[in-house]
């Protein structure tokens, strides 16, 4: 670790690539009740009245500008991209709006979307909102991978959609068969499904007339744009009401910390992003897709992902399109770090135009930052800031970020213009609570959960504990201090902050591990289930399977050395790791171990791996259990 620290110090002497952020301004108010209020001193740029306004604006002002691009959906292996301009997008959205209106679209007629990210997905989504129908984006796994369709039917009963959109009728046929469609209309992009009522996107498009313009005039800032589903990690998914005002405000909050003129110059006039984050989740749908629409940006839809099967496609796309921003989850950054180290051509393209990197959805280890920064310096001679965004489905999502050059992982930043943070004392920690136009009015058909979500002053309760990174200098930002609900007690009453143990332990192992599950509720000590980072492990042990990696002496030695180093820094019972089992597989998104945000669902993983959790604390010898 001494070598890493020396290299980090050398990196710190180099300048950051120029980032056109506005000067940091922070207003801090200490209250008599012990709570602390934080507000950004920069003004909020005026939001659009609703989510369709930026599409109309860019189509009128620069109709030939690219909005979306994707590979050929039938033959994705083919070279090149199918591109959609803002002008063409507006024409297609208006025609689809007319078709939906003729089918009875409106506030009481939601549209469920079952589709991966795709141009057609975006078009039908924005057309439905134009027609006044709330959109219900559903993770495709509910229809493609489920055996009983329990979650799909739960969402269907909750939101009662009048229309269901599927990208491919054949692919989603089994899911449609598992639903009680009862004569509702299924809209599809390709391959007609076998249902009572269906219509293709091509046939749905109708020459727009005055009724489309009237529908546009009826769109209200407080009208419901979407019902976004929570991950359901603590029960059935909740439908979070997303209004037009919420999302329109949130994207302008992000833009309000940038010097827009300088950014325009630095990016040659247009923001460009390659991104895979699913539009069935708030991060991909609002913070990426709609934010890029508001920017007038070009979004290249990535059908890859940070999984062994889909990683090559993700790298192929990043190698082809030089981006100005790259925002993703820590699991993807871990994979990208390894590929950048091994592929100079990728590194050259990746850093060519890049102004800022960012992550969200979960905490990221310092080790990943250091590895990426080393390559950035080799390619550009400068550092490239890797910042963090923070929020939830209920906050649209982005409510804070690190809007200054940053080299410290684990920060959630500071509030963006347009909202107020309250750090409310809860025990010996501060719970973060938030007010602003980007906050949901509540959960659809769930008044009890809505009431529980807000405090007596109307602040939304995030459930996260936060602290100042530097108590003497609040402008250095807030750091995540664990989930209030994820903390647990050992048998002796000692509290364990699972989030802090996880992040610090994975970082100390320095690349070999991708994640960990922290165990020990009502036990005498902490144990972990560790998941390897297969791309990094290949460098140590060759191209082996994950199951073989878990038993490989070099991998085991690296994990042991990393945890021993972690324990030297964290010797107290509340954080010291006493046992570890390296898992022979990766956490499964299909089984609910990985949320759509990309982080591990600790309770679900422990439930599914209960036998291994028991082995961690069994008194008898077990050769798979590393003891510390």
Judge whether 210 lies within some domain.
Answer: yes
Judge whether 256 lies within some domain.
Answer: yes
Same domain, 269 and 391: yes
- Rg (alpha carbons) of the chain, rounded to whole number: 24
410-447 as b/e: b if 16+ CB within 10 A: bbbbbbbbbbbbbbbeeeebbbbbbbbbbbbbbbbebe
Same domain, 380 and 452: yes
229, β-bridge pairs: 239
Judge whether 234 lies within some domain.
Answer: no
Calpha distance 247→255 (Å, rounded): 13
Start-to-end CA distance of the chain, whole Å, equals 19
Judge whether 610 lies within some domain.
Answer: yes
H helices of 256-295, where? Answer: 260-266, 282, 291-295
What crossing angle do the helices spanning 330-342 and 534-541 adopt, rounded to 10°?
Answer: 30
Domain at 609, CATH number: 3.30.300.30
Q: State the residue range of the domain holding 423.
A: 2-48+244-483
Give the total number of structural domains in the chain: 3
Same domain, 202 and 250: no
Of 219, 254, 287, the residue at which a domain comes to its end is 219
Question: What's the token pair of residue 444?
Answer: 């659809």
SS3 of 247, please? helix
**pLDDT for res 11:** 66
Of 483, 518, 545, the residue at which a domain comes to its end is 483
Same domain, 446 and 549: no
Calpha distance 560→568 (Å, rounded): 12
**pLDDT for res 3:** 31
DSSP-assigned letters across all residues of 62-93 = -TTSEEEEE--SS-TTSSS-EEEEHHHHHHHH
**pLDDT for res 9:** 42
Task: Identify the segments of the chain with pLDDT beneath 50.
Answer: 1-10, 234
Same domain, 557 and 577: yes
**pLDDT for res 409:** 86
Same domain, 479 and 525: no
Same domain, 44 and 65: no
Is-contact 423 38, C-beta < 8 A? yes
Closest CA to 497 of 433, 427, 586: 427
Judge whether 232 lies within some domain.
Answer: no
Judge whether 344 lies within some domain.
Answer: yes
Calpha distance 483→362 (Å, rounded): 11
Same domain, 329 and 452: yes
Residues 6+ apart with CB under 8 A from 132: 105, 106, 107, 215, 218, 219, 223
Judge whether 224 lies within some domain.
Answer: no
625-627: strand order across its sheet:
513-519, 526-532, 577-582, 625-627
Q: What are phi and psi of 138, to 5 degrees?
A: -120, 135
429-436: strand order across its sheet:
26-30, 36-40, 419-426, 429-436, 460-468, 478-483, 411-415, 398-401, 386-391, 356-359, 325-328
**pLDDT for res 99:** 98
Closest CA to 343 of 541, 535, 586: 535
Same domain, 253 and 153: no
Is-contact 101 70, C-beta < 8 A? no
Is-contact 397 246, C-beta < 8 A? no
Calpha distance 243→225 (Å, rounded): 5
Of 457, 483, 509, the residue at which a domain comes to its end is 483
Residues 6+ apart with CB under 8 A from 509: 530, 558, 559, 562, 563, 566
Same domain, 393 and 427: yes
Domain at 136, CATH number: 3.40.50.980
Judge whether 556 lies within some domain.
Answer: yes
**pLDDT for res 535:** 85
Same domain, 397 and 503: no
Same domain, 104 and 196: yes
H or E element, residue 413: strand 411-415
């Amino acid at each position: 670790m001494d070598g890493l620290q020396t290299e980090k110090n050398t990196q710190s002497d180099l300048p950051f690539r120029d980032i056109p952020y506005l000067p940091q301004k922070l207003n801090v108010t200490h209250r008599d009740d012990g709570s602390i209020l934080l507000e950004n001193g920069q003004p909020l740029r005026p939001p659009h009245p609703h989510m369709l306004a930026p599409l109309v604006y860019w189509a009128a002002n620069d109709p030939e500008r690219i909005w979306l691009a994707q590979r050929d959906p039938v033959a994705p292996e083919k070279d090149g991209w199918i591109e959609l301009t803002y002008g063409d997008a507006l024409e297609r959205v208006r025609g689809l709006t007319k078709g939906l209106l003729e089918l009875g679209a409106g506030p009481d007629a939601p549209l469920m979307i079952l589709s991966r990210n795709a141009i057609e997905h975006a078009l039908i989504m924005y057309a439905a909102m134009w027609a006044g129908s709330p959109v219900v984006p559903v993770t495709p796994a509910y229809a493609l991978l489920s055996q009983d369709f329990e979650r799909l039917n739960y969402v269907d009963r909750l939101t009662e959609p009048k229309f269901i959109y599927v990208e491919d009728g054949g692919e989603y046929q089994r899911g449609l068969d598992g639903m009680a469609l009862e004569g509702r209309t299924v809209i599809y992009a390709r391959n007609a499904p076998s249902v009572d009522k269906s219509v293709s996107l091509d046939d749905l498009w109708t020459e727009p007339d005055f009724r489309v313009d009237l529908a546009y005039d009826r769109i209200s800032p407080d009208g419901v744009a979407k019902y976004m589903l929570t991950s359901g990690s603590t029960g059935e998914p909740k439908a979070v009401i997303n209004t037009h005002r919420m999302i329109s405000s949130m994207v302008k909050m992000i833009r309000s910390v940038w010097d827009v003129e300088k950014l325009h110059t630095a990016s040659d006039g247009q923001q460009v992003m390659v991104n895979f984050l699913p539009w069935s989740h708030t991060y991909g749908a609002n913070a990426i897709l709609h934010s890029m629409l508001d920017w007038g940006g070009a979004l290249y839809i990535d059908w890859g992902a940070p999984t062994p099967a889909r990683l090559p496609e993700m790298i192929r796309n990043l190698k082809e399109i030089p981006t100005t921003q790259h925002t993703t989850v820590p699991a993807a950054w871990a994979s990208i770090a390894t590929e950048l180290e091994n592929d100079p051509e990728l590194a050259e393209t990746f850093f060519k135009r890049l102004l800022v990197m960012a992550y969200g959805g979960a905490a990221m280890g310092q080790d990943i930052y250091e590895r990426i920064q080393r390559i950035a310096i080799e390619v550009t001679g400068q550092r490239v800031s890797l910042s963090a965004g923070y929020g939830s489905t209920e906050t649209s999502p982005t409510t804070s970020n690190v809007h200054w050059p940053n080299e410290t992982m684990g920060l959630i930043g500071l509030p963006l213009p347009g909202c107020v943070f309250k750090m409310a004392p809860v025990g010996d920690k501060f719970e973060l609570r938030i007010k602003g136009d980007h906050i949901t009015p509540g959960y659809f058909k769930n008044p009890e959960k809505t009431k529980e979500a807000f405090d007596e002053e109307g602040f939304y309760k995030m459930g996260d504990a936060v602290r100042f990174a530097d108590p003497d200098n609040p402008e250095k930002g807030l750091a995540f201090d664990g989930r209030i609900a994820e903390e647990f007690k050992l048998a002796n009453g000692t509290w364990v902050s699972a989030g802090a143990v996880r992040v610090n332990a994975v970082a100390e192992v320095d690349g070999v591990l991708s994640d960990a599950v922290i165990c020990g509720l009502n036990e005498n000590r902490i144990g972990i289930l560790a998941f390897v980072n297969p791309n990094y492990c290949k460098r140590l042990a060759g191209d082996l399977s994950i199951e073989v990696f878990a038993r490989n002496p070099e991998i085991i030695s690296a994990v042991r050395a990393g945890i021993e180093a972690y324990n030297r820094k964290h010797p107290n019972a509340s954080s010291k790791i006493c046992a570890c089992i390296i898992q022979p597989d990766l956490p499964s998104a299909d089984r609910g171990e990985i949320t759509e945000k990309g982080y591990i669902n600790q309770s679900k993983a422990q439930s599914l791996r209960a036998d291994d959790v028991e082995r961690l604390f069994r008194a008898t010898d077990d050769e798979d259990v590393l003891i510390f």
